Amino acid sequence: MRYLFTIFIFSISFLTFGQKGNDINVRINSEPLDSLPKFVIKMNETEYFLDTIPDSINPDWIEKIEVLKSEEQKNIYGNGNGIVLIYPQEKYFKQISLLLESIPNSHVDSDSVKVEKIVNNFFNWYIGEIKTNNSVEFMPQFVESNQGMTTLDFSKYLKNLRQYQFSDSLIESERLTYLECTSHLEKVKYSDFKSSWTDLDDFESTDCDFANSYRWTGGMEPIDCIRIVDLKMTSNQTGVVQLKFCGIDSNNKEYFWGKKTVILEKQYDNWKIVKID
């Protein structure tokens, strides 16, 4: 099937799942698939990406349907045209899986989906915190030690990196990049730091000028968005994601900002970011 015609069935069934009064407008059309939303059938850790929903799936098997509307939500799945999430009832998981496995190209490797989500989730969070100038969340903070000297507080920053699936090795490597800075700071009284460190040269000469650029996107100006341009699963344990950073001009048009490569590894059945280069 090349054209969308089964969403109508699921939209009708959606109205029966306790959604009284919520009208869903459905348009059956013949637009090319690359301009239409994607369907994702979610069954615990397994996800199936589909252009259309097979007629053989009974709407009564579906527990709920969720339409992702925001740009951030849509980008999690890497499809700017939108995503329709379909959650079957658990008792029908096996039956639906057998049906979907019989459809060519219906099953997207769940590992690649997880890798894509991790990358999108981290950068969407990072960009969002930068835009709200919530620096305590995305970089170390200058604080006073128990001895009255100056040091760096990593607690919230590293906690967030761990939450967004940074590996232990990358977190430790990140901490070590500030070693030179902290060795200088421990010789400076915090009161002197607050009153005297007013020039960028003070920070640059001690390798403490990390607030002068954005660690994970680069540059001194915030970016507006990311796009995944390539994703390769080089083995069942490694994923390589090519990113394009973009800005949005006054006419709401995207322009190229820069690029990064993100490498992830599967560690104890969990995907972790091990390098951003």
Going from the C-alpha of 263 to that of each of 230, 237, 272, the distances in angstroms are 12, 11, 9
210-248 in b/e form (b: 16+ CB < 10 A) is eeeebebbeeeeebebbbbeebeeeeeeebebebbbbee
The pLDDT of residue 144 is: 97
**Centroid of chain to Cα 37:** 19
Contact 170, 274 (CB under 8 A): yes
169-179 in b/e form (b: 16+ CB < 10 A) is ebbeebbeebe
- The tens digit of pLDDT for each residue in 142-199 reads 999 999 999 999 999 999 999 999 999 999 999 999 999 999 999 999 999 999 998 9
- Reference 80, options 90, 88, 70, 91; nearest CA is 70
Dihedral pair phi/psi, residue 215, rounded to 5°:
-55, -45
Measure the CA–CA gap between 168 and 189, rounded to whole angstroms: 31
Roughly what angle, to the nearest 10 degrees, separates helices 168-176 and 155-163?
A: 150
Average pLDDT, the chain: 81
Q: Once rounded to an integer, what is the mean pLDDT over residues 242-255?
A: 91
- The tens digit of pLDDT for each residue in 125-140 reads 999 999 999 999 999 9
Q: Where are the domains of the chain?
A: 7-108, 112-131+221-276, 135-212
Containing 142, the helix (H) or strand (E) segment is strand 141-144
DSSP for 6-25 reads SHHHHHHHHTTSS-TT----
Measure the CA–CA gap between 185 and 203, rounded to whole angstroms: 10
What SS3 state is found at 265? strand
- The tens digit of pLDDT for each residue in 30-85 reads 334 444 567 888 887 677 777 777 778 888 899 999 887 666 555 556 555 678 88
DSSP 8-state secondary structure symbol assigned to residue 135: H
Going from the C-alpha of 141 to that of each of 110, 126, 128, 130, the distances in angstroms are 37, 16, 18, 14
Token duo for residue 132: 């709200």
Dihedral pair phi/psi, residue 17, rounded to 5°:
-95, 55
Which residue is it, tokens 């835009």?
A: 131
The answer to whether residue 122 scores a pLDDT higher than 60 is yes
